[in-house]
Amino acid sequence: MPRVSIEGTNKSFEVKTEEIIYNALSDQGEELPHGCLAGSCGACKVEILQGKENLHLPGVIEQNTIDALRIELNIDQTKEIRLSCRAKVLGDVTIKPIK
């Protein structure tokens, strides 16, 4: 099973393939920052530090929100940003919540 690790902590969670990051971690008692949980507000944004190839490509809603966040918050284009409420896991990833 894939693992989702949180940078700067000793926390690592086994998750099911195709599971959404936020849901998988929440089910195991880890609460990530969040808002609408629909992919529109961007409060659940995370940086993917390792394993970006182990996530499904973002859908239209997620990509539109990420694009808007990059402009609004002046996020470096080289950083891999995803929404934990939308990103589906295929393999191991390491994330860093963005405040």
- When comparing pLDDT for 68 and 99, which is higher? 68
pLDDT at residue 99 tops 90: no
Distance of CA 96 to the CA centre of its chain: 8
Q: What dotted CATH number matches 3-97?
A: 3.10.20.30
Tokens representing 2 are: 């894939």
Tokens representing 23 are: 């849901």
Say how far apart CA 50 and CA 53 lie, in whole Å: 8
Q: What is the mean pLDDT of residues 40-61?
A: 97
Every domain of the chain and the residues it spans: 3-97
**Model confidence, pTM:** 0.95
86 phi and psi angles, rounded to 5 deg: -125, -25
pLDDT at residue 23 tops 90: yes
pLDDT at residue 50 tops 90: yes
Tokens representing 81 are: 């940003």
Q: How many CA atoms lie within 13 A of 65 on its CB side?
A: 24
Q: How many CA atoms lie within 13 A of 40 on its CB side?
A: 2
